Structure 1
Amino acid sequence: MTAETAELTADDPHGYSARHLSVLEGLEAVRKRPGMYIGSTDSRGLVHCLWEIVDNSVDEALGGHCTHIEVVLHADGSIEVGDDGRGIPVDIEPKTGLPGVELVMTRLHAGGKFGGVSYTASGGLHGVGASVVNALSSRLDVEVDRDGHTHLMSFKRGLPGEFADEGPTAKFKKKSGMRLGKRVAKKITGNRVRFWPDRQIFIKDATIATELVLDRMRQTAFLVPGLSISVRDERGEEPIEESFRFDGGIGEFCSYLASDEAVSDVLRLQGRGHFTETVPVLDDQGHLTPTDVERDLEVDVALRWGTGYDTITRSFVNVIATPKHGTHVSGFDRALVKTINEQLRSTRLLKNGDDPVLKDDILEGLTAVVTVRLPEPQFEGQTKEVLGTSAATRIVSQVVTRELKAAFESPKRGQKQQLRNVLEKVVSAAKTRIAARTQRDNQRRKNALENSALPAKLVDCRTSDDRSELFIVEGDSALGTAKLARNSEFQALLPIRGKILNVQKSSVADMLKNAECSAIIQVIGAGSGRTFELDSARYGRIILMADADVDGSHIRCLLLTLIYRYMQPMLEAGRVFAAVPPLHRIQLSNPKRGQNRYIYCYTDGELRKKLVELERKGQRWKEPVQRYKGLGEMDADQLAETTMDPRHRMLRRIRIEDAEDAAKIFDLLMGSEVAPRREFITAGASELDTARIDT
């Protein structure tokens, strides 16, 4: 034991005293614990640094002082943000004796966002954004156009000074104060901030994705009507440049986000409210005194319903995205549920004894953008993902209730029927939810005593693991052969009677009333629509087994339409297949030793090729070659060998590579609009091989 250790132990037997405590000064705390300020030191944290600088420029735009923002991702890894706002103050702040630029870049909780004088609504709230980015940059350059000059200042890991050359590795001399650059016209103002992320802080692979920046800047342009934003990425072989400007605001944003067919036009719900907030205010003696402050909160909501099932809700506070929502979205949800239920009662779409519709029913197919603006909002953490201002719930709820009620009771021209369709869609979603819940209660795999809950015509299999397959078979005649051909361990059969209902042109209620559609959904056992749960599906695969003729193709198309509309996750997971039965069977007259007597061909081209090959080898076959018109023409051995036995069969996997294109094709082929389908058929008529038509 050393003398120093012995002395320490004598003074403090626990080996822990005040000498072990550390006090981090200024930006040193940011470098020591960066995750506290930017969330992480990977790509997410790096992107957050960019947003902190961009948000300062956006705040200028919110105040009406900025019309253009430029973001540049330089080839050397640096990031630059410029704007034509008022410019950071360059005069001396009297208490610290520092220029305004140096103050906001080197001191935590210093800025113009406090007190509500410079900014009535802003995204930068804590006064730490720019200083945190500065602390985590190996170099940061600031250029401010103001008062007829360009004012320059540089920093290295938060310390002010001058670099002898370009780049973060240039020789650096510590020095306080600003440098005066070139002269500019007095009317020209703005900022340019360029920073090089410090690789001592950020992991080596941390990078900023171009698409992420484009999405965020596009979003910001939607939220600040009239603001133009340009993005340039110089990191690749070919520079990428895009510009954004939208004068329609969040109404245009709502239409952009929605991907399904519209049931209603975009509704704009706008209003404002007041609340009193107690905040600590610094008095003349430097003491923090609790003071009641009157606040204004502006609400702007855009929403529209579509034919789809997905819900898209984007929320913002002073143009800052709140991906985990908060009190403003809570108020929106509360008002939406209350108002829609009142409208359903008043229009008698819900009777007195009916249960109220739930939030999920109303949100089905809804796209909404919820924005609020207020000075000094309370966020949960510097990353600003959740709004915590409690008064926002009440004010947003009041505004949405009042404006949405007015929209339903005094609709604009052309909107009355649209809003009626919205209410009917909500009721339909509620009925589907109730029906799906009833089905799910009976959709667990039944034991011998419970089998009566499933359709009597289902021929089930014994296993319930991922190997299990459900063959949907066309007709009872093919079912009889398939029963003998299947492996009862893992292959189940469900016969359907010819062509099922075209669900693309039918309502949910009509689909559920249809015996064939209802049986398919019940047998698969995972619900339908929004309530579909892929993990609850009773079978690992769905295999459509129809005849290789026109009617069989039509039946497959109808079945795929049902699956696409109400069980889409099965398609997305690659668990839907079409069986591929053979078209022809060649019976050899003189098969060689070890050669099968029967050869199956799946296309006309394959048949011609095979016959030429047999003729060249001198082998004879029985004429005429058998052409299968349907599965019922095969015996059990042939059906098993060609279509059902996993060792020999051929399956075609049905996938959705592009859901939007798939939706358009389904609507074209199966929808209620006849004219586009007629044009499609007419345009393709010349390409049809008439020899392939079954007559």
Structure 2
Amino acid sequence: MTASAETLYGADDLTHLEGLEAVRKRPGMYIGSTDSRGVNHLFTEIVDNSTDEGVAGHATKVVVTLHADGSVEVEDDGRGIPTGVHAKSGLSGVELVLTRLHAGGKFGGSGYKASGGLHGVGASAVNALSLRLDVTVKHAGKVHEMSFARGVPGTFDGQGPKAKFTRQSGLRLIRKMKRGESTGTTIRYWYDARYFETGAALDVDVVRQKLRNTAFLVPGVNYVLRTATDGAINEETFHHPSGLTDMVEFLAPAGDRAVSETLVITGEGSYKENAADENGVMKSNVERRAEVEIALRWGTGYERTVEFFTNTIRNVHGGTHRRGFDRAMVKAVQEAISKTRGLLKPKEDMPTVDDVQEGMTAVIHVRIPEPQFTSQTKDELSTAGITKVIQGIVDKHIKAWTENRKTKAEVKTVLQKIVDASRVRLAQKQQKDAARRKTALEGAAMPPKLVDCRTTGVSRSELFLVEGDSALGSARMARVSEYQALLPLRGKILNVQKAGLGDALKNAEISSIVQVLGAGTGRTFDMSTMRYGRVILMADADVDGSHIRTLLITLFARYMRPVIEGGRLYAAMPPLHKITTKGRNPETHYTFSEREMETKVAALHKAGKNVVTPVPRFKGLGEMDADELWDTTMNPATRSVRRITLDDAEAAEAALELLMGEKVEPRRKWLVSSAARVDQAAIDI
């Protein structure tokens, strides 16, 4: 490096982000993402703090209110955030935990035996990414309040984030607590949309699922969800005194008859790990204590639903507790099978973890002090010592269950089911290639309606599943034939929630999809043989299009799940409106919702543009010409597509179950409660 180059890069070029600046600079590091999942995570961070009070035995009720102005309020009857002055920082406990990263009562172990929060980042990150945050604390006989604007303490002269703000540090004493009044903390925040992607919003269904799951995991706490709709407050209460047993029954697939009682496994174990003390000094072989609670059952079906939690936090990707559970189940079941005469034939292979867990519904919950996760979003537990703790507890209980004379018949039924699953898997593996050649579905030539691409490379190729033949004409002219293939679908495919694999494959549209992808279905699905790098669902932006997308997502979730898990299933997002301006420099804009269209038109009018009115609305993909379809939906450089996740698949299955399932009562309640949301003026009478 030359001397002149060195002088261009000096100490003044280094930046130190203080306080909450780091959160605002890189929000994805602290909340996982800046789409709707990030907005949902803000809520999770706040409600988890209230849940920690319930786990510690200090709270019995958590109330979540989703206000009409978009704000979220979480209230608990716990101990309340400490209001005294922190000696080292000179700040009140409330201001400390809401404005300083890595501050809280969950580091030393004295405040909480086991909690979901461990980084001291959650509440302060929410504060940093909120236009306004109000906190009310009932603690030590007094009621205090404090407000923040984007993490800065102060006061507002009115309601909402647009009220005049005056910067001011310190907690405000409001009044003394009344006799018999409960302590607790209430936090209300308005998240700042500037830090999130366009269209990102809090999902009420995610909130509801979070509260329901937590109510299962903390049976001593009532969770209440209040939503403001048309001036009225709708209230739902989640309380499950039977805990994980209730959760297993809830998660079990509809119509899946149990072949075993729900087994409840509880126990404690110790492990050692390196950890820092309160002074930051690292110590080795610090002994930890873990509490384990598991509920599981086997059903007649083959679907597996296994959920993992740490200190009430859902670990989507499992982690070390999953590793211990899987190992113990396989070991205990294999030993039981080897001891049971007549189950396995000579030289037959022992079942694997997939065979053991076929048809299983299980919930695994561990409570440990200072857990370690792979990220702030806590999707995967990484505390190493938990593996052996879980393995020992599960192995002991499953062995006792298999050897219990009272459950002999039940155990034999379960073991036979596992052995049968193993035989089917091995037979499919051995005959997969031959079966594909013999089956007309996978051995015949490609469907004549497939408009294939020229490339043989998988990484760049795309398959568009197009709604209707009318859209196919425009798509055929718009596509790049080198790497974009088209498969038109006529109408709505079969609802696979109500049909088995055999009936599903009899459906012409489903069989064409499976045949064109060339990777099989179900347990024989082989991602390595899939003919396209991406599958894009291209349906109209209307109710029928949403229905078709839901059916297709459910199809992939049931019989081609690795496509979703591998991030290779997408949904195209065709626009609803085309806004054009007249004049010397005409402009064209596409919008995806009524509100976005109205906002854009207003902005163009304000800028002096002459907007062509009325603004046309696309009724379907077939109404677009090739250039419009290419620019908005098919051009990788300008299109909008949404990657389908497992959460989307769960939501699709839940929607089909509600709207098309066998249970009438939930559907009737939903229709009655949703009737007021219908825009009667928009109905074509």
Residue in 2 aligned with 1:74? 67
The one-letter code of the counterpart of 2:295 is: A
State the match for 1:398 in structure 2.
Answer: 392
Contact 1:254 1:302 in 2 (8 A): yes
How far the C-alpha of 1:467 sits from its partner, in A, is 3.6
Alignment of 1:131-146 (within 5 A): 131-146=124-139
Please tell me the residue identity of whatever aligns with 1:353: K
The alpha-carbon deviation at position 95 of structure 1 amounts to: 1.2
Q: 1:147 touches 1:186 (CA, 8 Å); kept in 2?
A: no
Separation (CA, whole Å) in 2 of partners of 1:537 and 1:288: 52
Secondary structure of residue in 2 paired with 1:443: helix
Q: Could you tell me how far apart the structure 1 residues matched to 2:269 and 2:525 are? A: 41
Paired with 1:137 and 1:156, the residues of 2 have a C-alpha distance of: 7
* Higher mean C-alpha deviation, range 172-181 or range 309-318: 172-181
Aligned counterpart, 1:275: 271
What is the TM-score normalised by the length of structure 2?
0.65
**Aligned-pair distance for 1:276?**
1.8
Alpha carbons of structure 1 residues 657 and 467: separation in structure 2 relative to 1, 3 Å: farther
Q: Does 1:111 find its partner at 2:92?
A: no
Determine the C-alpha separation between the residues in 2 that align with 1:308 and 1:462.
28
SS of 1:356 mapped into structure 2? coil
Q: Deviations over 1:467-494 (max 9, x none)?
A: 499xxxxxxxxxxxxxxxxxxxxxxxxx
Distance 1:130 1:147 in 2: 22
Gaps in structure 1 of 5+ consecutive residues: 1-8, 446-453, 470-503, 509-524, 539-566, 574-655, 666-695
Whether 1:129 and 2:110 are equivalent positions in the alignment is no
Distance 1:658 1:153, change over 3 A: closer
Q: Retained in 2: the 8 A contact 1:282–1:289? A: no
Q: 2:412 aligns with which of 404, 411, 420?
A: 420
1:54 maps to 2:42: no
SS of equivalent residue, structure 1 residue 304: strand
Hey, what does 2:158 align to over in structure 1? 165
Q: 1:110 to 1:658 in 2, by over 3 A?
A: closer
Rounded Cα–Cα distance in structure 1 between residues aligned with 2:658 and 2:196: 38
1:661 and 1:179 map into 2 onto residues whose CA distance is 50
Closer, same or farther: CA 422–659 of 1 in aligned 2, 3 Å: farther
**Rg larger for:** 1
1:533 positional shift: 7.0
CA contact (8 A) 1:345 1:352 kept: no
Aligned partner letter, 1:39: G
1:67-106 matched pairs, under 5 angstroms = 67-106=60-99
d(CA) in 1 for partners of 2:661, 2:295:
25
Q: Secondary structure at the match of 1:442?
A: helix
8 Å CA contact retained: 1:43, 1:208: yes
Aligned residues: 481
Q: Which residue of 2 aligns with 1:229?
A: 223
Equivalent of residue 200 in structure 2, options 199, 206, 209: 206
Cα distance in 1 between the residues matched to 2:261 and 2:244 = 13
Q: Cα RMSD over matched residues?
A: 3.5
Give the partner amino acid of 1:102. E
Aligned match of 2:446 in 465, 484, 491?
465
SS at match of 2:160: coil
2:242 paired residue number = 248
Structure 1: distance between partners of 2:100 and 2:154: 15
**Structure 1 contact 73–235 (Cα < 8 Å) conserved:** no
Would the alpha carbon gap of residues 657 and 15 (structure 1) be closer, same or farther in structure 2, given more than 3 Å must change?
closer
The offset of 1:274, in angstroms, is 0.6
Instruction: Name the structure 2 match of 1:331.
Output: 324
Does the 8 Å CA contact 2:226/2:236 hold for their aligned counterparts?
yes
Displacement of 1:424 in angstroms is 0.6
Structure 1: how far apart are the matches of 2:231 and 2:447? Answer: 47
Please, which of 389, 407, 426 is the counterpart of residue 434 of structure 1? 426
**Structure 1's 334 and 170: CA in aligned 2 closer, same or farther, altered over 3 A?**
same
Q: Report the CA distance shift for 1:89/1:661 in structure 2 as closer, same or farther (over 3 A).
A: closer
8 Å Cα contact 1:27/1:106 also seen in 2: yes
Change (3 A) 1:163 1:257: same
Q: Residue type matched to 1:427 in 2? A: V
Tell me how far 1:147 sits from its aligned partner.
2.3
CA contact (8 A) 1:436 1:527 kept: no
Deviation at 1:158, TM superposition (A): 0.9
Instruction: Note the C-alpha offset of 1:12.
Output: 3.9
TM-superposed deviation, 1:531: 3.4
Letter in structure 2 aligned against 1:394: K
Question: In 2, Cα distance between the equivalents of 1:49 and 1:179?
Answer: 25
8 Å Cα contact 1:534-1:569 kept in structure 2: no
For the residues of structure 1 that align with 2:208 and 2:166, how far apart are their CA atoms? 37
1:662–1:66 Cα change, 3 Å: closer
After TM superposition, the structure 1 = structure 2 runs for residues 499-510 of structure 1, keeping only pairs within 5 Å, are none
Distance 1:366 1:468, change over 3 A: farther
**8 Å CA contact 1:439, 1:527 repeated in 2:** no
Residue pairs, 1:590-629, within 5 angstroms = none
Instruction: Measure the CA separation in 2 of the matches of 1:434 and 1:331.
Output: 25
Moved more, 324-333 or 167-176: 167-176
Contact 2:108 2:278 in 1 (8 A): no
Cα distance in 2, alignment partners of residues 223 and 461 from structure 1? 45
Matched residues in 2 for 1:436 and 1:657: separation? 32
SS in 2 for 1:98: coil
In 1: Cα distance, 2:5 partner to 2:527 partner = 62
1:25 aligned residue (18, 22, 25): 18
Structure 1's 291 and 174: CA in aligned 2 closer, same or farther, altered over 3 A? farther
Map 1:349-388 → 2, pairs under 5 A: 349-351=343-345, 353-388=347-382
Instruction: Give secondary structure in 1 for the equivalent of 2:195.
Output: coil
User: What is the match of residue 307 of structure 1?
Assistant: 300
Residues in 1 aligned to 2:80 and 2:283: alpha-carbon distance in whole angstroms: 32
Whole-angstrom CA distance in 1 between matches of 2:237 and 2:143:
26
2:260 is equivalent to residue 264 of structure 1: yes
Please identify, of 194-203 and 79-88, the stretch whose mean Cα deviation from structure 2 is larger. Answer: 194-203
Query: Does the C-alpha gap of structure 1 residues 292 and 186 become closer, same or farther in structure 2, counting only changes over 3 Å?
Result: farther
Question: Deviation string for 1:482-507 (max 9, x for gaps)?
Answer: xxxxxxxxxxxxxxxxxxxxxx9xxx
Q: In structure 2, do the counterparts of structure 1 residues 158 and 663 end up closer, same or farther at CA, with 3 Å as the change threshold? A: closer
2:494 corresponds in structure 1 to: none
Partner amino acid, structure 2, of 1:405: K
- Return the letter of the residue paired with 1:257: L
- 1:239: Cα distance to partner? 3.9
Matches of 1:461 and 1:117 in 2, distance apart? 62
Preserved contact between residue 317 and residue 387 of structure 1 (Cα < 8 Å)? yes
In the alignment, the residues of structure 2 paired with residue 526 and residue 662 of structure 1 have an alpha-carbon distance, to the nearest angstrom, of: 29
Partners of 1:50 and 1:79 within 8 A in 2: yes
Offset from partner CA, 1:46-99 (integer Å, 9 cap, x none): 111110000000000000000000001111111100000000000111111111
Cα deviations across residues 236-277 of structure 1 (Å, max 9, x unaligned)?
Answer: 565432111000111110111001111111111111111122
2:58 is equivalent to residue 65 of structure 1: yes
- Give the conservation status (yes or no) of the 8 Å contact 1:345–1:351: no
User: Which sections of structure 2, spanning at least 5 residues, go unmatched?
Assistant: 451-497, 503-517, 532-556, 564-653, 664-685
| Alpha-carbon spacing, 1:661–1:242, altered in 2? closer, same or farther (3 Å) | closer
CA distance in 1 between partners of 2:449 and 2:190 (Å):
56
Q: Is contact 2:521–2:559 with CA below 8 Å preserved after alignment?
A: no
Give 2:471's aligned residue.
Answer: none
Shift of 1:530: 3.8
Superposed displacement of residue 313, structure 1: 0.9
Q: Does 1:147 align with 2:140?
A: yes
Q: Take 1:66 and 1:367, find their aligned partners in 2: how far apart are those partners?
A: 30
